[in-house]
Chain A
Amino acid sequence: MTVFNLYLKILNKNKIAIIVYIVIFTILTLIMVNTIYVQDSFSNTKVDIAFIDDDNTEYTNNLKDYISDYAVIKNIKKEDLEDAFFYRDIEMIIEIPQGFTNSLASENKLNIETKTIPDSAQSVTLQRAMEKYINLSRVYIENDLKTDNLHQSLKDILDNEAKVNINSKIKVDYTNSEFYFNYLAYVLLAMLVTVIGSIMTSFRPIEIKRRNNLGSVSNKKMNLILLISNLLLGIFIWLIFIIISIILYSDIMLKTNGLLLMINCLIFLFTVISIAYLFVVIFKSGNVIGALATVVSLGSSFLTGVFIPQFLLDDFIIKIAKFIPSYWYVKANSNISTLYNYNNTTLKPIYSSFIIQIIFTFVFIILSLFISKYKQREEN
């Protein structure tokens, strides 16, 4: 109990770091939470645009009305357009010159100026739709076709659309919970390695070791209690994040997939603790371990697809990433999130990711034992 109390005392000194991590992480995920939706009817993928109409006639307003099926027209001040385009708040700028409507009937054609992202698939659809509308109007005007209302006639034609059958089997969207658990890989690594590192290094100075050797608690027992305390701390923090996840994604977390996500996270937690132990036996100073924790957590997160989906990563980076435990953690999360049929073939990749993480854990434990034995001999 004495050892455990001491542990709690040192932990208390680190409480601010822990609380800050938990709060920032929760706020970040709250920002990222989107509504879960099920698709059952066709809708165009709309592109965000700015529509600058210097002509402002009935015709251009009708055109604007028509393209709102293909685009979300955003209200942006002229001087902010370039910034908005750079940050991709809008993906296309459309400028209709003055006199455009009149030019349709005349020989001197005026052009609509656009600014688009090169090779962008989204703006292609909108461009085609606009060209179609204007060309149809031209056909009407050139041939002097009878019409009471040009826009209405055009609309009657344009309302003829292909029938779309949508057949989507995917009913539950795991994107948010997957993101949450992926991000946890970063938080757990950064937080636990720093905290455990700073607690365990307090026992490192040789004077303290000598003092502890004099005490009635044997070295073995003390290390065991410390280990259990660290595990308890890990599980406690794991529980906090699980509870938050259940609150955020209650409809998902209490199902089989949610349970698998939790188990995966628990397995990864042990890997993280073993990494922390490895650092503790190698390095003496809490500051160094803290710096390393920052570098390792950020580095492994960037390399293994915590921050960006794995399929976007370079093949070469993926090859390296396979030697990092969080790669398997993220992979398992993504497999779990696309799991709809529960059978051997679909579950196998998940289990193998579990096992690989466990192997990593054992490797780290064996390494730490080996190094600490070696160092102890040196000290004696």
Chain B
Amino acid sequence: MEIYLTRLKCLLRNKDNLFWAFIFPLILGTFFYLGFGKLSMDDSFNTIDLYIASDYTDNTLVEIMKNAKYDDGRNLFNMNNSYTKEKLDNDFESDKISNYIFIINDEITYQIKQNGIEETIIKGVLDEYIQIKSLYQSVIVTQPDKIKSIENSLNNQVTYLVEKTTGTNPSANKMIIYFYALIAMACTFGGYWGIALVNDIQADQSPLASRVNITPTHKLKLILLYTLAAITIHFLGNLVLIAYLKYVLKIEFAHNTILIVLTSFIGTISGIALGAFLSSIIKGSPAKKEGLITTISLTLSFLSGLMIVDVKYLISKNVPFLSYINPTSLLTDCFYSLYYYDDIGKYLVNLGMLSIISTLLIFMTYFKLRGHSYDSI
């Protein structure tokens, strides 16, 4: 117990590690939130401003455009047909309006500056008007007796498309991955503690470790206690991060808090294990190892979408193997599948893979560390 407490104290004095493991993810999370926490990236529709020339117009069309509505009952267009074509021409030239409609000899002309979603919607409605008109015209010629019943059919519009309710929330989108990848990065930063762990235990790594090695305490006991101390600190830091994201920044998480905490716990272990493993196989100064861990964890995070979300999707689509061996990506996916899917099958697969990788790393580190004895260093 005393060894454990002393070790905790030791770790808490390592200011650099504390900054990168605790403070930095919090700061980065705040930046993410300020930058795009409120963005959803989805375009949402609004009522569109629309101008029809007052002198070159078509009353039926004006009526139709005025009455066009979205599914939820909002007007599609905010119609203005009080200006003459000449005025609209001028306004268009001087960039006051971006599009307008005029009709000459039954031909509808839609004047625009560039292609876009609004332009596509307006043109869609104009097309519909022209097409129905042409339907009447062709029927009048071929089967004039059916005009009345066609009118009935047309007025009696049927809706064929129905929004499906699946288990997943259609508004949920990829922006949230930034925050999940951030937690995963913070877990991987546990690697710094892993380095310190090996560095202070393996006799050939530091004078302190040599001293520790000649104590009568069993090495396995030391390793276990040191690891436990590292896990305690890092796991706490991680919980603070998740609590901060969830309660202060109001980032959406799955409702199952226990599973979230479990994920973060296993994530912490995997991070520390990764650091310890790398540290045990690489010789060099702690600074060099820390540089390496930074590079590796940032690369893993990059592949999990921390910098550009689409990277993660592209990888899981094209090289799925990579996302199954990358602990950071597995962690991100754990949070994602918990949040997005109702069924926890996907979550369990990811968490299982992560546990297997962590166990492997721990065993490899242990075999590397155990059984060394030195006559002299």
Contact = CB atoms under 8 A, between A and B. Distances in A.
A88 B123 contact: no
Contacts of A226: none
Contacts of A44: 115, 120, 123-124
Interface stretch (A4-12, A136-144, A201-209, A252-260): A136-144
A53 interface: no
Given A119-B42, A295-B27, A161 B111 contact: no
A291 B19 contact: yes
Interface in B92-136: 92, 107-121, 123-128, 130-131, 133-135
B31 A299 contact: yes
Contacts, number: 218
A152 B70 CA distance: 29
Contacts of A156: 138
A157 B135 CA distance: 6
A15 interface: no
Contact of B45 (A94, A120, A162): A120
A26 interface: no
A302 B32 contact: yes
B contacts with A: majority SS:
helix
Contacts of A80: 317
B39 interface: yes
A308 B32 CA distance: 11
B150 A118 contact: no
Interface in B212-265: none
A164 B121 contact: no
Nearest to B30: A299
A128 B69 CA distance: 11
A312 interface: yes
A132 B160 contact: no
Q: How large is the interface on B (under 10, 10 to 19, 20 to 34, 35 or more residues)?
A: 35 or more
Contacts of B317: 80, 84, 89
A157 B134 CA distance: 6
Interface string B322-350: 00000000000000100011000000000
Contact of A118 (B24, B35, B112, B171): B171
A113 interface: yes
A115 B164 contact: yes
B138 A157 contact: yes
A289 to B, nearest CB: 13
Contact of A158 (B31, B70, B131): B131
A160 interface: yes
Contacts of B131: 132, 136, 157-158, 160-161
Contacts of A134: 158, 160
B31 to A, nearest CB: 4
B316 A83 contact: yes
Contacts of B154: 135, 139
Contact of A113 (B34, B107, B159, B164): B164
Interface residues of A, number: 76
Contact of A130 (B34, B161, B164, B313): B161
B1 interface: no
A94 B28 CA distance: 38
B124 A165 contact: no
Contact of A86 (B46, B150, B340): B340
A146 B43 CA distance: 42
B116 A45 contact: yes
Contact of B109 (A45, A163, A308): A163
B73 interface: no
A312 B119 CA distance: 22
Contact of B124 (A118, A119, A129): A129
Contacts of A142: 149, 153
A374 interface: no
Nearest to B149: A143
Interface string A156-191: 111011111111111000000000000000000000
29 contacts: A42-B115, A42-B119, A42-B123, A80-B317, A82-B340, A82-B341, A84-B317, A85-B168, A86-B340, A87-B173, A116-B170, A119-B44, A125-B117, A125-B124, A128-B125, A131-B161, A146-B142, A161-B127, A161-B130, A163-B110, A164-B110, A164-B112, A170-B114, A291-B19, A291-B24, A295-B24, A298-B31, A302-B34, A312-B36
Given A121-B43, A135-B158, 19 more contacts: A43-B115, A45-B115, A45-B120, A87-B313, A93-B164, A114-B163, A115-B163, A121-B117, A131-B159, A139-B135, A139-B154, A146-B143, A161-B126, A162-B127, A162-B130, A167-B111, A303-B35, A307-B35, A308-B36
